């Protein structure tokens, strides 16, 4: 293993590093040699949970991120392999029974869907509320919730290099389109941007848009750049590739073309920001990720990082302080700490707001100002991104001080408000207004 400085000196973006992507699905639970150390019962439990939560892991995660000596408690293992307690005991038992009696596929699928529906699959009204219209027609694949920024879900980027077990998603794989399709889809986005000069940022997300071939990804970006819209400043790319497949930037056949796309956008005067998703310090330690970060930065693109705070994975101050410190050292800007949302396995991964704030605060105190740029803990809720500023006492009442980082109504931003303290609350829905008030100001 190279030290950080060694890896910088060997770094040149085009250097070939042979590493072929290999993904494993649920059948890997029976075939991966690394899993042989688990008991039959543990494997069976993972199979049961995998019926409900889609499961996919790749050779980089298995070979370079998971510390197998530490399994089953290793955070990278918990993050990517299904865990028994992700299902409520009754649901687990029902699914386990169905599998044991070899129930027909259709029955297992129906049961899986029934369990998923109990788990609030479309939180925060994202799907229904935020789809904009263009000339009276819904603009599918776009969400416009906050004035300056739209989210764009290219239809060819709706899957991931590996699935995070906290992400509640069942495969929304859309049939692979072609380049023309990508360009057409991006052209509709351009029409919408043209009519909405208040938008400065396009956040391309998924799934993971960097799952796309560089040529396809480039077709989207080039269509956006060529439109030459002066108000459109920033291209953000939400991706977990740096954590789950850093070879995307340094070893894939079309890695150099991907870096070229970033470079072109930068040269066209756009701010390009990779919104990386690092959940644990281990994801920052491999030679591959260090080289990938340096390769991206050599194009003029920036990298920002965000992650939810997750029980079993990163619910300690030292995990966050280590991540932020290491990120700053690599030239990554810490951006958000999220609270895990009210969907899927929140009961397994969720950290109460009060505890998340204490961890955030303790981590903040361990690092220098440059590493204190991650805002949080923040909830992406229906009314907006709600930031837990802290716990304090006002007129003898213990309260949470909160504020909007983003609001459905931009005037809500940066206006402190208060909720009654509740040690157990995990989400805004659990909170009551402080001082005996009936409702929060944004509910009126």
Tokens 């480039």: give the residue. Answer: 218
Place of tokens 């980082």: 405
Residue 51 to residue 82: CA distance in whole angstroms = 10
Give helix 287-297 / helix 255-267 axis angle, nearest 10°: 30
At its nearest, how many Å lie between ligand PLP and the CB of residue 199?
11
Helix-, strand-, coil-residue percentages of the chain, each rounded to 5:
45, 20, 40
Tokens 């991104």, residue?
A: 385
Query: Per rule CB under 6 A, is residue 242 in the interface with ligand SF4?
Result: no
Q: Is 337 in the site for ligand PLP (CB under 6 A)?
A: no
* Residue 313, token pair as written in the block: 């994975």
Residues between 203 and 222 that touch ligand SF4 (CB under 6 A): 206-208
Please report where in the chains the tokens 């869907």 appear, as a residue.
113
**From 164, 259, 363, 431, residue interacting with ligand SF4 (rule: CB under 6 A):** 164
Six token digits for residue 36: 């042989």
> Token digits for 327?
């990120």
Residues 132-161 interacting with ligand SF4 (rule: CB under 6 A): 160
Which of 276, 190, 183, 293 minimizes the C-alpha distance to 236?
Answer: 276
Strand partners, 393: 398
The conformation of residue 434, written as its DSSP 8-state character, comes to S
By CB under 6 A, is residue 142 in contact with ligand PLP?
no
The answer to whether 73 touches 65, Cβ cutoff 8 Å, is: no
What 3-state class would DSSP assign to 198? coil
User: Is residue 310 within the footprint of ligand SF4 (CB under 6 A)?
Assistant: no
Nearest approach in angstroms of CB 209 to ligand SF4 is: 10
The minimum distance between CB 398 and ligand SF4, in angstroms, equals: 34
- Residue 312 or 362: the one with the smaller Cβ distance to ligand SF4 is 312
Give 167 or 434: the residue with its C-beta nearer to ligand SF4. 167
Choice from 50, 98, 112, 151 touching ligand PLP (CB under 6 A): 151
Using CB under 6 A, which of 42, 149, 298, 373 touches ligand PLP?
149
Does the protein bind ligand SF4 through residue 169 (CB under 6 A)? Answer: yes
Picked from ligand PLP, ligand SF4, none, the partner binding residue 164 (CB below 5 to 8 A depending on kind) is ligand SF4
Q: Of ligand PLP, ligand SF4, none, which one sits near residue 208, judging by CB under 5 to 8 A according to partner kind?
A: ligand SF4
What SS3 class is residue 384?
A: strand
Q: Please state the closest distance from residue 265 (CB atom) to ligand SF4, in A.
A: 22
Candidate list 56, 145, 280, 311; residue touching ligand PLP; CB under 6 A: 145
Distance, in Å, from the CA atom of 422 to the CA atom of 80, rounded to the nearest integer, reads: 31
Q: Which two tokens stand for residue 285?
A: 């330690």
Give which of ligand SF4, ligand PLP, none residue 405 binds (C-beta under 5 to 8 Å, depending on kind).
ligand PLP
- What CA–CA distance (Å, rounded) separates 291 from 4? 9
Residue placing its CB nearer to ligand SF4 in the complex, 164 or 313: 164
> Which of ligand SF4, ligand PLP, none binds 115 (CB below 5-8 Å, type-dependent)?
none
Q: Quick one: which of 145, 213, 240, 290 contacts ligand SF4 (CB under 6 A)?
A: 240
Residue 207 contact, options ligand PLP, ligand SF4, none, Cβ 5-8 Å cut-off depending on partner type: ligand SF4
Q: Which is nearer to ligand SF4, 164 or 388 (CB)?
A: 164
24 binds ligand SF4 (CB under 6 A): no
Distance, in Å, from the CA atom of 219 to the CA atom of 241, rounded to the nearest integer, reads 19
CA distances from 77 to 25, 48, 283 (A): 14, 17, 12
Pull the structure tokens for residue 332: 């990554």
Residue closer to ligand SF4 by CB (options 169, 385) is 169
Binder among 273, 307, 380, 382 for ligand PLP (CB under 6 A): 380
Closest-CA residue to 166 (of 347, 399, 384): 347
- x/- mask, ligand PLP, residues 186-205, rule CB under 6 A, reads -----------------x--
Query: Are 178 and 63 spatial neighbours (Cβ–Cβ below 8 Å)?
Result: no
Q: Considering the rule CB under 6 A, would residue 146 count as an interface residue with ligand PLP? A: yes
CB of 372 to ligand PLP, least distance (A): 17
63 DSSP 8-state letter: I
Please identify which residue in 58, 80, 83, 143 interacts with ligand PLP, judged by CB under 6 A: 143
Q: Which helix (H) or strand (E) holds 181?
A: helix 179-195
Residue 402 in contact with ligand PLP, rule: CB under 6 A: no
- Give the count of alpha carbons within 13 A of 300, CB side only: 15
Minimal distance, residue 412 CB to ligand PLP, in Å: 13
Q: Which residues bind ligand PLP (CB under 6 A)?
A: 143, 145-146, 149, 151, 203, 380, 385, 405-406
* Contact footprint for ligand SF4 (CB under 6 A): 160, 163-164, 167, 169, 206-208, 240, 277
């Amino acid at each position: 293993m190279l030290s950080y400085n060694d890896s910088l000196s060997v770094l040149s973006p085009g250097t070939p590093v042979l590493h072929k992507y290999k993904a494993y699905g649920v059948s890997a639970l029976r075939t991966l040699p690394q899993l042989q150390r688990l008991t039959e019962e543990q494997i069976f439990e993972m199979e049961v949970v995998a019926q409900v939560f889609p499961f996919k892991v790749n050779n980089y995660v298995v070979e370079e991120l998971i510390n197998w000596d530490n399994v089953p408690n290793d955070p990278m293992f918990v993050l990517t392999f299904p865990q028994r307690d992700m299902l409520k005991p009754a649901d687990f038992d029902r699914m386990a029974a169905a599998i044991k009696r070899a129930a027909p596929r259709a029955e297992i699928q129906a049961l899986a869907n029934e369990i998923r529906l109990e788990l609030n699959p479309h939180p925060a009204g994202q799907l229904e509320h935020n789809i904009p219209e263009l000339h009276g027609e819904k603009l599918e694949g776009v969400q416009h919730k906050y004035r300056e920024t739209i989210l764009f879900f290219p239809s060819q980027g709706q899957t991931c290099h590996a699935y995070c077990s906290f992400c509640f998603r069942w495969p929304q794989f859309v049939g692979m389109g072609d380049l023309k399709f990508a360009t057409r889809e991006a052209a509709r986005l351009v029409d919408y941007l043209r009519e909405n000069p208040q938008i400065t940022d396009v956040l391309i997300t998924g799934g993971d848009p960097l799952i796309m071939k560089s040529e396809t990804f480039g077709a989207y970006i080039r269509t956006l750049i060529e439109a030459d819209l002066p108000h459109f400043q920033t291209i953000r790319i939400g991706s977990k590739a740096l954590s789950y497949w850093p070879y995307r930037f340094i070893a894939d056949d079309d890695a150099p073309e991907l870096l070229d796309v970033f470079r072109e956008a930068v040269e066209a005067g756009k701010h390009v920001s990779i919104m990386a998703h690092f959940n644990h310090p281990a994801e920052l330690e491999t030679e591959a990720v260090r080289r990938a970060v340096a390769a991206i930065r050599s194009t003029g693109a920036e990298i920002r990082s965000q992650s939810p705070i997750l029980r079993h994975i990163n619910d300690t101050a030292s995990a966050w302080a280590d991540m932020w410190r290491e990120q700053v050292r690599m030239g990554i800007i810490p951006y958000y700490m999220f609270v895990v949302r009210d969907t899927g396995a929140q009961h397994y991964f969720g950290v109460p707001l009060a505890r998340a704030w204490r961890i955030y605060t303790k981590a903040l105190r361990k690092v220098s100002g440059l590493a204190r740029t991650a805002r949080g803990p923040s909830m992406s809720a229906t009314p907006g991104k709600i930031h837990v500023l802290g716990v304090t006492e006002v007129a003898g009442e213990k309260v949470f001080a909160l504020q909007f980082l983003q609001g459905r109504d931009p005037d809500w931003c940066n206006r402190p408000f208060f909720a009654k303290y509740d040690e157990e609350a995990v989400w805004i829905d659990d909170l009551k207004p402080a001082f005996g008030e009936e409702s929060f100001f944004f509910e009126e």
